[in-house]
Amino acid sequence: MTDELLAGYPVVVDIPVAWGDMDYFRHVNNIVFFRYFESARIEYLERIGFRELTDEGSVGPILASTGCRFRRPLTWPDTVAVGARVTEVGEDRFSMSYRLVSRKLGEVAAEGDGVLVSFDYAAQRKVPLPERVRRAIELLQGQ
Amino acid sequence: MTDELLAGYPVVVDIPVAWGDMDYFRHVNNIVFFRYFESARIEYLERIGFRELTDEGSVGPILASTGCRFRRPLTWPDTVAVGARVTEVGEDRFSMSYRLVSRKLGEVAAEGDGVLVSFDYAAQRKVPLPERVRRAIELLQGQ
Amino acid sequence: MTDELLAGYPVVVDIPVAWGDMDYFRHVNNIVFFRYFESARIEYLERIGFRELTDEGSVGPILASTGCRFRRPLTWPDTVAVGARVTEVGEDRFSMSYRLVSRKLGEVAAEGDGVLVSFDYAAQRKVPLPERVRRAIELLQGQ
Amino acid sequence: MTDELLAGYPVVVDIPVAWGDMDYFRHVNNIVFFRYFESARIEYLERIGFRELTDEGSVGPILASTGCRFRRPLTWPDTVAVGARVTEVGEDRFSMSYRLVSRKLGEVAAEGDGVLVSFDYAAQRKVPLPERVRRAIELLQGQ
C-alpha cells in the first residue's frame, strides 16, 4: 500500500515518529513535518552529490521556499515513509515534491514541496546548477 | 524600521533567536521559521478567541497548509519580530500571512502563509466559521 | 558489538539520527540526546503499562530529574540504539538508566539516568507505585 | 520575587515559552528545559569570551555532562528567567549551575547543572583552561 503511494519517488526514507513530536493537541506538531521533509531532501541531495559545499568551488543548494499540505493527523506510535522527487529543473534551481505516508494508516498524511537554488557561498550569489548535478538528477529520476 | 515593515500586521510577537536554533550550516534551521510563525499564529488565535476547543461545541481551528519563502538567513544572536494578519475569510476557513523581520538586520527574513479550517473535533468534520470569530477577525484587522 | 554494549537493557529502541539534529558545532545537539532517552523511556513505560493516566485512578509517572554524560559526539548519518532499564524501585518512584550506542561507531556515545515518580494527577500528589506496575518492572527486568 | 530567586547568578536570560514547547501532557516538554539552560550557558560563555574556537589555538568548551531537576511544570503562556553561574573551577574544566524561574508563577521551575571541559579541537584532547578564561570567570562571579 505504502509502496504504491510512493511510486515515482526515487528516494524514500523511513522515520519513526517520536512520542515527543506530539504537541498540546496530541498530534505530531506541524513543524515536525518539515523536519521529516528535510530528512528526505538531505538524502536526495546526498544521492545526487549536491548536499553541501563542494570541493570544486563552494557551490551548494540553498532552500528558497517550502510548504506543506496536511492531510491526516499523525500520532505516536507510527513510522512515516517520506518520498522525495524532483519535479522541475531550471537554470539555477530545481523544485522538489515530498509525500509523507503513515505506515500505520497506510495513507498519505501530508504533501510538501520545496525550491532549491544553486548558490555560490563564497561569492554569495546564485549560480547555474552544476552540470554534473543536473545529470545526476536526470539519472536518479529516470530510474 | 522594523515597525514600518510590520505595518498592517495587527499581531506582532518578539522572539529571541536561540543559539540552538542554528543548524549545521550555521544559520537558523528552516523548521524553526515555522515555530516562529506558529507562535504568531497562536497569539492571533488567542486574540480572536479561537485558539482551541471552545466550550460551545468543540469547534476549533486546524492548520490545513502552511508555507515559507526564505529571504535572508538568520543567525544568533538576534530577535525576530513576527507579524500575523488574516488576508481572506471564507465560509469555513481563513488565510493568514506572516512576516518575519530580523531586528538585528532591520530586514524581512521570511514571508509565510497558512490556511486554517474551522473544525468540529467531536463530529470530525469542517464546520462554518463561528460568527463571533468572524466578527473578532474583522475587529482586529480593522484596527 | 552494539548488542553486547546493550546487554542488560530489556528495552532498546533504534532511532535514525536526523541531519537537522546537528547544531552549529556540527555534532548532534545536547538536547537531542534527551529526546532519544525519552523515546526509550516511553517505550519502557508502554511495556510496563504505566505510560500515562490509567483508567483506575489517574495515576501516572512524572519525570522528576534526568541527566546525561556525553562520551562521543554524534554526527549524521548514523542510527542510535538506546537502551533503558530500571535500576532501583522505591515506594513511590523508580530510577532508570539509559545507554546510547552509535551503530556507526559501535561505541557508547552517552549514558543517562532519570527518576520517575508515581503521581496522582487528580489529587496532584505523589502516591505509592501501583502494585501491578511494580510487578511488571520485575518481570521485564527479570527477563 | 524572580530577582531574589536569581540573586547570585551573574547571567540571567529571559525566554518566552513557545506554545509549541508543550507536549502531549500539555506541559513544557523536558528536553526544552535543556534548550533554556543552553541559552543561558551560551550567554555565559559569550560573556567570558569562551564560546567557541578561539583564534589562539582552537581551544573551546565542550559539554561533558548536564542534568535537570524538575520542580514545577511550565505552561504557555509564560516567560522564563534562566540564571547561570559557575560553581567550581578545575584544572581543565568548570561546573555550572542553572536556575529556571517561571515569571508567571514567581517560583523556581527547575534547577540544572553542567560540566564544561576545555578542549583543543585540533588536537582532539582536553587542555588546561586558558588563563584569561579563568580570570574572566572570577571577574564575572565576583560582581
How close does chain B come to A79, measured CA to CA in Å? Answer: 20
Q: Where are the beta strands (DSSP E) in C1-143?
A: 11-16, 59-70, 79-89, 93-102, 107-120, 125-126
Q: Quick check: C18 pLDDT over 70?
A: yes
| CA–CA dist C21, A27 (Å, integer) | 21
Return the residue in A17, A23, A29 with the most chain D beta carbons within 10 A, the one to mutate for interface testing: A23
Helix (H), strand (E) at residue A43 = helix A30-47
pTM: 0.96
B122 versus A98: the higher-pLDDT residue is A98
Return the residue in A22, A33, A39, A79 with the most chain C beta carbons within 10 A, the one to mutate for interface testing: A39
Low-confidence ranges of chain D (pLDDT < 50): none
CB contact under 8 A, C29 and B19: no
D54 versus B133: the higher-pLDDT residue is B133
Q: How many CB atoms lie within 10 A of CB A116?
A: 22
Neighboring chain C residues of B22 at a CB cutoff of 8 Å? 23-24
| CA–CA dist A23, A18 (Å, integer) | 11
Q: Quick check: C70 pLDDT over 90?
A: yes
Per-residue pLDDT at B62: 94
Per-residue pLDDT at D3: 86
Q: How many CB atoms lie within 10 A of CB B96?
A: 23
Neighboring chain A residues of D26 at a CB cutoff of 8 Å? 24
Q: Does D67 touch chain C (CB under 8 A)?
A: yes
Return the residue in B17, B24, B28, B74 with the most chain C beta carbons within 10 A, the one to mutate for interface testing: B24
Confidence bin at C56 (pLDDT 50/70/90): low
Chain D: partners with 3+ C-beta pairs within 8 Å = A, B, C
Per-residue pLDDT at B43: 97
Per-residue pLDDT of A29-43, as tens digits, reads 999 999 999 999 999
Residue B77: asked if its preceding bond is cis (omega within 30°), the reply is yes
Confidence bin at A51 (pLDDT 50/70/90): confident
In the DSSP assignment, the letter for residue A75 is -
CB contact under 8 A, C31 and D34: yes
Neighboring chain D residues of A24 at a CB cutoff of 8 Å? 19, 22-24, 26
> Three-state DSSP class for C132?
helix
| CA–CA dist C28, C77 (Å, integer) | 10
When CB atoms are compared, the residue of A20, A35, A76 closest to C18 is A35
Per-residue pLDDT of B96-129, as tens digits, reads 999 999 999 999 999 999 999 999 988 889 999 9
| CA–CA dist A29, A24 (Å, integer) | 8
Which residue ranges form the domains of chain A, and what is each CATH number? 2-142 (3.10.129.10)
Which is nearest to A36 in space by CA: A100, A113, A114?
A100
**Residue whose C-alpha cell is 511495556:** C47
Q: Quick check: A14 pLDDT over 80?
A: yes
Q: How many CB atoms lie within 10 A of CB A131?
A: 8
Neighboring chain B residues of A65 at a CB cutoff of 8 Å? 67-70
Neighboring chain A residues of C20 at a CB cutoff of 8 Å? 35, 38-39
Chain C: partners with 3+ C-beta pairs within 8 Å = A, B, D
Per-residue pLDDT at C104: 97
Per-residue pLDDT at A123: 87
Q: Does D75 touch chain A (CB under 8 A)?
A: no
CB contact under 8 A, A20 and D29: yes
When CB atoms are compared, the residue of B25, B30, B38 closest to A66 is B30
Q: Does A27 touch chain D (CB under 8 A)?
A: no
Mean pLDDT of B60-86: 97
